[in-house]
Amino acid sequence: MPSVTAYPWVHPLFEALGLFTGVQYYRILRRRTGAPGLLMGKDFGVVLGCVFGAALGNKLVFWAEFPHLLTQYWDQPVVLLAGQSMVGGLLGGLLGVELAKKLTGITRSTGDDFVFPVLLGLMIGRMGCFLAGLSDGTYGIATNLPWGIDFGDGVARHPTQLYEIVFAGLLWAWLRRMQPMLAGTPGLLFKLMLSAYLLWRLLVDFLKPVPYEFPGGLSGIQAVCILALVSYLPSVVRHWRGVRLLALEAES
């Protein structure tokens, strides 16, 4: 079976690289549309809301995934800094942006600008997760499939980090193809990206070890994904139906 040499120190490096590259790509996309710089005007508040919301969401969903660690080490400050969660970052960033928009009086949709930078950063970051091996905790359960990877414990496992990179690439291609049709409905591009990622994590996490089991055998992240999808999907479906209806009318 294929094996990978683990380099735990690589993970924070790729995480920082993914964040830096995503931010730079976001700036490039904004310049193409003639939008002001990140540090100018009300949009700066949106960026701050995204950053602080994502940071808080990161931790809250990580603790939902590992609640037993929080109760066990609640009196140690290190537990407050440990762990990351892409699901938490996306949901927290969304809530942070919406709060910032209310405080600054921005009414236009701002989410579409984040879509491709987020996917780019995700793909880079997941490569770091893959190279970090078992220490990262994002590996899959054991498998007999020929592409199972030995991360250092002699067990062939699903390389779920690579699965996610492939998924993000395919989602990127699909959203790029749909972008012209969605241009008349600001915000829908982001909603589709977020919904697709939440659904993906709900499904792919069945291929990962469950550190703490919730009802139904779900992990904390899967439980969060279900709650988010239940509250978020109705709006997405409604807007998507409107776009499809307009597209059909244009064709006829």
User: For every one of its 252 residues, what pLDDT tens digit does the chain have, with 9 covering 90 and above?
Assistant: 677 666 677 888 998 999 899 989 988 888 887 766 666 666 777 888 888 898 889 888 888 888 877 777 666 766 666 677 899 999 999 999 889 888 888 777 778 888 999 999 999 999 999 998 888 888 999 999 999 999 988 999 999 999 999 999 999 999 999 998 888 888 899 999 999 999 999 999 999 999 899 999 999 999 999 999 999 999 898 888 887 776 666 666
Distance CA 5, CA 151 (A): 7
Residue 73 and residue 79 in contact, taking contact as beta carbons nearer than 8 Å: yes
Tokens encoding 12? 């924070």
pTM over 0.75: yes
pLDDT of residue 148: 94
pLDDT of residue 250: 64
